[in-house]
Chains A and B, each alone.
Chain A
Amino acid sequence: MRSPAIKQTNTHSFSKTLAKDWDRNKWKYILMVPVIVYLILFCYKPMYGLIMAFQNFKISRGISGSAWADPWYKWFENFITDPYFPRIIKNTFTLSGLTILFSFPAPIILALLINEVKNKVFKRSVQTITYMPYFISMVVLCGMINVYCKQDGLFSQIAVALGGTAQNYLASPDYFRTIYVLSDIWQKIGWDSIIYLAAISAIDQEQYEAARVDGANRFQQMLRITLPGLVPIIMILLILRLGGILNVGYEKVLLLYNPSTYDVADVISTYTYRLSFPTSGTPMYSKSTAIGLFNTLVNVVFLVTTNAISKRTTQSSVF
């Protein structure tokens, strides 16, 4: 038990510190205001809408007027017992997993390679060319993929030239994942490598000198100095990436899939999208909100788990 007197001095000193702090940093605080307002308005206030997940929401009646779902987990149950549930969960994890497996390491490798290039002109051109696709809008990019994958498109022509047969690759469930992951790598490899290149340039040059004196060749330097120097940033990005494991880029799937590839391409977010904006019929706000909430919970679990593992093994963590 602490005496009230001490408590009082504490508050006193706190307000004093606060005043002092305000005096010193007031402009920083004022600069923060817009961001805080933004977060409240666009990130916290909309959470009110999550109530819909527990209602039989009707747009004409609004959140305050709609009846509560009975039982409260009705829409969660509806989602989990949906015949499509296993398929979309499987697809979401597969696509997400494949992306993490292949397109997460790709920019790291590219950064390491670029770092070894000595010719300035060549280095700059490679960087520019690899990060250019990032600036193509998703709609245009998918339009290009669509054209290339057609029966008489680029890929078919290459296949024919090599002795294969022409086909529409996007209409075949066998190729969807490959197309999805490869185009993802192509689009993002250059852009994502920038952060690693920045991290590499921050590595102390004396370490390389010391290694050279010890007789390490360039490959050994890369493996023993550059890569370990990158581990903290790699871990942080990986944790963030795993925190979004269920957030498969729905725009891309939506633009690339068609009825013949639903089986491998339909993911949680496209399913939610179809429920919320159906071509006919009523939008199912309650169910899609419930799925959104479910999605977020799974993401949080992944984020926290990876963070904990990373903290224990590599000492780097987001929080």
Chain B
Amino acid sequence: MLKKNLKLNILDKTIMLLGGSMKQKLLKAMSVLAVGAVLLASCGTQKVTDVPDDVSAPKSSSASGTGKESTVKPGDISYPLDSDKTVSWYIQDAPQPHEKFADASESPFHVKLAQNLGVDIEWMFPTTGSDGNMFTTTLMADPDSLPDIMTVYFMDKANQYLEDDIIWDLTDYIQEYAPDYYAWLQTNPAYDSAMKTDNGQYYCFGFFREDGGWNDTYLGPVVRKDWLEECELEIPTTISEFEHVIKVFNERYGATFNSAFGRYNAMGICGAFGAYGNAVAGNGWYIKDGKVRFGQAQPEWREYMSWQNKLWNAGLIDRDILTEDDTTIKNKIHNDKCGIAVTSMGQMTNWNQERVADGKEEVWIGIPYPKSDDGEISCVFGGFGIGTQTTVITKAADEETVKLCMQMLNYSYTKEGSLYWNYGTEGETWEFDDKGVPAFTSLVTDDPDTNPMTKYNGTTWNGPAIQATNLLYLKNSKAACDANDTWFYVWPDDEEKNMAVTGGWKWPVGVTFTIEEADELDEISQNIPIYVSESYAAFLTGSKDINDDAVWNKYLEDLETYNLSRVTEIRQACYDRYKNR
């Protein structure tokens, strides 16, 4: 909702007289801003033109220009780099200055990062109130004046940007100028293959979770434990028990199952039915036995829908669920109209804290994703611990600047740099506790602002770095971390089996379509998401009867007219290439 509103604000004035002219207008207005910022940045670089490149001093022993046989080892680059250059760096979302700061010059994280790196950084972010995605697109409209470094989401289009000479191919430089990053990628084949194209070209610095996917399962079912106790119910583990809890809560308290739709529509609790995905087509693409399939076209999904429809008809699913968001649902959460839901660990923490603020006790706890009555589960919301954020270096940077940029970006993957990116400056914002684990000082823990650590660190949400699991423990409440454990450890004793359920089924991160594929997908695949989400609503509310074979067959036929087979075929080819990397 919020995102939608922001977009509208920008578009408010531009009445749709001409669809084309409107966008062009916006592009113009915004590229003026962009050009301005870039001009500023380039003014900064003027002064260094006569300075010879000294950034490679620490590893001048390496004669190899290609970096193929690099002798530079992790830890060989010493920081600060003491460069005279100014590098411009655009970040689409995180890490941005905390909302209390007007710009990066007030933000301790950004200021100190430049100091630690020994490079002047000209920061650039989307204008406040604008949509980040759109801002980036607008920047890209003027490829000749891009910032040197861009922290954006380019994976789908990597081939296009490489071919169009917009971003640097880092392959020849990575070992020499980003040895720590390269070493990190080698620790896990999944990391390495996610960060390059099918041709083996490295093009970006990525975001990783140290936990390898634990926090990717930050979403799951939650329940009021006081009600469970009052009704003398156990924590539900199977779908029948889950349904029973909803029923009992409904009879006893008049409560329903409810969720912010944006949190429920991705997966819900589809795993109990052997299904993949719920109302969002993008989440429906999954891999089984090396084959790409579409979750919302499978019979298991039909079963899952049928179950949801049954609950809807019985009045057990809140009638507002399709329009519910994190704000509106609080009305029901705090007025005892909901006792079981699907939400994120962050939201659950909020619900509990708001209760405490009202003088009540914390009652919300995470419960495991329900399994089928046979104890089977196909998937839970999750991932591999690899983010989709990509930090790329644009062709605005000359070869010397690229080397410098890579050394800057390498910092967060070094031991020292990783501590800075996760916690800030030692002695100021954090110290090792008696167990040798970093802990925030009172500077952070006593700060009443929301998420105060984001003033000093860069990995709370996203960033070209490795997010420390400990940071998540520091940031979130105990109940929330327990909930995350509950959701993630579906098969606590079998790591491989657990991985298959949490991340193994997922369409991998870092897959790159060829230019032709991307173009074709743009043309033919637009209708599937719309059709799936509206069909979901129709099946849920019963305006189309999911149990009627004719309706179901018509739905499958319609998906076919929206090119489902062809899209699957393209994705399969793309996935196969990814597997062969």
A binding-site residues for B, Cβ under 8 Å: 42-43, 46-50, 52-53, 56, 58-62, 78, 82-84, 138-139, 146-147, 150-152, 166-168, 170-171, 173, 247, 250-251, 254-255, 258-260, 262-263, 269, 272, 274-278, 280-285, 288-289, 291-293, 295-296
Contact = CB atoms under 8 A, between A and B. Distances in A.
A87 to B, nearest CB: 10
A247 B519 CA distance: 30
B87 interface: no
A116 B412 CA distance: 75
Contacts of B518: 282
Given A82-B527, A281-B522, 19 more contacts: A59-B140, A60-B164, A83-B561, A84-B530, A139-B5, A170-B323, A171-B319, A247-B16, A255-B4, A259-B533, A260-B534, A260-B538, A260-B543, A275-B526, A277-B131, A284-B526, A289-B20, A295-B18, A295-B19
Instruction: Name which of A171, A272, A274, A278 has the most chain B CB atoms within 10 A of its CB.
Output: A171
A87 B541 CA distance: 21
B351 interface: no
Interface string B511-541: 0000000110111011101100110111011
A42 B15 CA distance: 12
B322 A50 contact: no
Contact of B25 (A42, A262, A275): A42
Contact of B522 (A50, A262, A284): A284
Interface of B: 4-5, 7-9, 11-12, 15-25, 27-28, 131, 133-134, 137, 140-141, 143, 156-157, 160-161, 164, 166, 279, 282, 318-320, 322-323, 328, 337, 518-519, 521-523, 525-527, 529-530, 533-534, 536-538, 540-541, 543, 558, 561-562
B21 A173 contact: no
A7 B290 CA distance: 83
Contact of B21 (A47, A251, A258, A291): A47
B323 A146 contact: yes
Contacts of A43: 21
22 contacts: A42-B25, A46-B24, A46-B28, A47-B20, A50-B21, A53-B20, A59-B141, A60-B143, A78-B523, A139-B5, A139-B8, A166-B319, A168-B319, A171-B541, A260-B540, A269-B19, A272-B19, A280-B529, A281-B525, A281-B526, A291-B19, A295-B16
Instruction: Name which of A43, A60, A78, A82 has the most chain B CB atoms within 10 A of its CB.
Output: A60
B14 to A, nearest CB: 9
A277 B134 contact: yes
Given A60-B140, A259-B534, A274-B530, A292 B319 contact: no
Contact of B133 (A48, A138, A173, A277): A277
A190 to B, nearest CB: 21
Contacts of A285: 23
B21 A46 contact: yes
A84 B529 CA distance: 13
Nearest to B8: A251
Nearest to A149: B323
A289 B322 contact: no
